């Protein structure tokens, strides 16, 4: 039997973006927030503040997964990709077919032997890679699923700046309900039926964001950044076509829009990784110092292995993987990319 929750939706994850999105939704009604740890929940209840953001009074925070699922039918998981499967393992026993899940995780899950190091991975078939929506379908009874993606920098949303996102789902009901929960005078919501394309756009742009941070850290200007963005979107489309995604999806808000934002902003975690690499810091030190996950590092190695297996031209991804591994100096990678024999300007349409 369906629940009769007083909550219009629930958010899983009390990171920066989880709090920012919960605050957006709370402008339209009561929201339930599932935090992983009791100390985080206690902090929010006591101070009304977390991740440098005030937490809207319409948000109630709990730590019980069972109680959360019992009280929310429309659920927004907003957790790093490395934590996504574990989150589903905890949540799945309490889910029913009437639940709707709309995730905001910009990462991929891969099926490789446990002793295989990701950064050493040279080949990977498409059927070894899962988006978060595919993982939800595999691990739960939920079938009405979706995702959100777009130029959604948490710090700017938290400041109340105008922003927009895309909600993608093959189910009109999911799009309609998700839009009603998220839409506000400062946050627009666009719709797309291309769930796979929107997911991949949000994932693959993180590779280019690290590259953009490197270029900025080296002192390159707007011409170079425009070159990266335009060649980057072409490379993203070629990689996404391995999975059968539609190129047109990448020309919208969740594609080129998100790419421009993350390639231009020091608030982007992936941009920050690249910038700090360019300044001479080691990748291990950068990752250890960051409060939240930069998904682009893992995605770079996955995309390189896919490109190798499927014979897809991905020079930016290939160069980034070698930089992240410490196999190639940054300046040499830039020189090689400038010498790469690109042909047509817009070959992907």
pLDDT tens for the chain, residues 1 to 349: 455 567 999 999 999 999 999 999 999 999 999 999 999 999 999 999 999 999 999 999 999 999 999 999 999 999 999 999 999 999 999 999 999 999 999 999 999 988 889 988 999 999 999 999 999 999 999 999 999 999 999 999 999 999 999 999 999 999 999 999 999 999 999 999 999 999 999 999 999 999 999 999 999 999 999 999 999 999 999 999 999 999 999 999 999 999 999 999 999 999 999 999 999 999 999 999 998 889 999 999 999 999 999 999 999 999 999 999 999 999 999 888 888 776 666 666 5
Whether 9-193 shares its CATH topology with 197-339 is answered no
Domain residue ranges in the chain: 9-193, 197-339
What's the residue count for the chain? Answer: 349
| Helix 315-325, helix 195-217: angle, nearest 10 | 60
pLDDT at 1: 44
Of residues 306, 305, 304, 301, the one with CA closest to residue 241: 306
Whole-number Å distance between alpha carbons of 200 and 236: 8
Instruction: Give domain 9-193's CATH number out of 3.40.640.10, 3.40.50.2000, 3.40.50.720, 3.40.1190.20.
Output: 3.40.50.720
Cα separation values, 321 from 96, 134, 235, 252, 327, Å: 41, 26, 14, 27, 9
pLDDT at 4: 52
Residue 30 is a catalytic residue? no
Whole-angstrom Cα Rg for the chain: 20
This prediction has a pTM of: 0.93
Which is catalytic among the residues 30, 51, 106, 205?
205
pLDDT at 17: 96
Would you tell me how many other CB atoms lie within 10 Å of the CB of residue 319? 22
Of residues 298, 138, 110, the one with CA closest to residue 204: 298
Sequence-separated (6 or more) residues with CB below 8 Å from residue 334: 215, 218
* Domain 197-339 part of CATH 1.10.1040.10: yes
Whole-number Å distance between alpha carbons of 239 and 307: 7
Of residues 316, 342, 343, the one with CA closest to residue 330: 316
Question: Cα dihedral sign for 95, 96, 99, 102?
Answer: positive
Whole-number Å distance between alpha carbons of 144 and 101: 7
pLDDT at 141: 98
User: Is residue 253 within 8 Å of 164, Cβ to Cβ?
Assistant: yes
pLDDT at 293: 87
Whole-number Å distance between alpha carbons of 234 and 313: 10
Helix (H) or strand (E) holding 217: helix 195-217
């Amino acid at each position: 039997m369906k629940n009769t929750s007083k909550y219009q939706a629930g958010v899983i994850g009390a990171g920066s973006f989880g709090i920012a999105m919960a605050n957006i939704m709370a402008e339209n009604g009561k929201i339930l927030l599932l935090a992983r740890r009791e100390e985080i929940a206690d902090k929010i209840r006591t101070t009304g503040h977390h991740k440098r953001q005030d937490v809207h009074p319409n948000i109630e925070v709990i730590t019980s997964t069972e109680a959360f699922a019992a009280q929310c039918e429309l659920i927004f998981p907003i957790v790093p990709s490395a934590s996504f499967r574990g989150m589903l393992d905890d949540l799945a026993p309490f889910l029913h077919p009437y639940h709707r899940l709309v995730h905001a995780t910009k990462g991929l899950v891969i099926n490789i032997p446990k002793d295989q190091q990701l950064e050493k991975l040279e080949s990977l078939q498409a059927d070894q890679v899962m988006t978060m929506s595919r993982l939800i379908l595999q691990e739960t009874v939920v079938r009405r699923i979706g995702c959100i993606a777009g130029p959604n920098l948490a710090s700017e949303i938290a400041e109340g700046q105008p922003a927009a996102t895309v909600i993608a789902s093959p189910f009109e009901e999911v799009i309609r309900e998700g839009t009603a929960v998220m839409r506000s005078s400062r946050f627009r919501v666009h719709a797309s039926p291309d769930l796979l394309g929107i997911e991949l756009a949000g994932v693959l742009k993180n590779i280019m964001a690290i590259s953009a941070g490197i270029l900025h850290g080296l002192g390159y200007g707007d011409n170079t950044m425009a070159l990266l963005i335009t060649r980057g979107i072409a490379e993203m489309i070629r990689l996404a076509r391995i999975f059968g995604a539609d190129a047109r999806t990448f020309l919208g808000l969740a594609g080129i829009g998100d790419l421009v934002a993350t390639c231009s902003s020091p608030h982007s975690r992936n941009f920050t990784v690249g910038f700090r690499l360019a300044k001479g810091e080691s990748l291990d030190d950068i990752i250890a110092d960051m409060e939240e996950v930069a998904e682009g590092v893992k995605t770079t190695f996955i995309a390189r292995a896919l490109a190798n297996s499927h014979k897809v031209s991905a020079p930016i991804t290939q160069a980034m993987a070698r930089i992240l591994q410490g196999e190639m100096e940054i300046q040499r990678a830039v020189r090689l990319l400038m010498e790469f024999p690109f042909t047509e300007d817009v070959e992907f349409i």
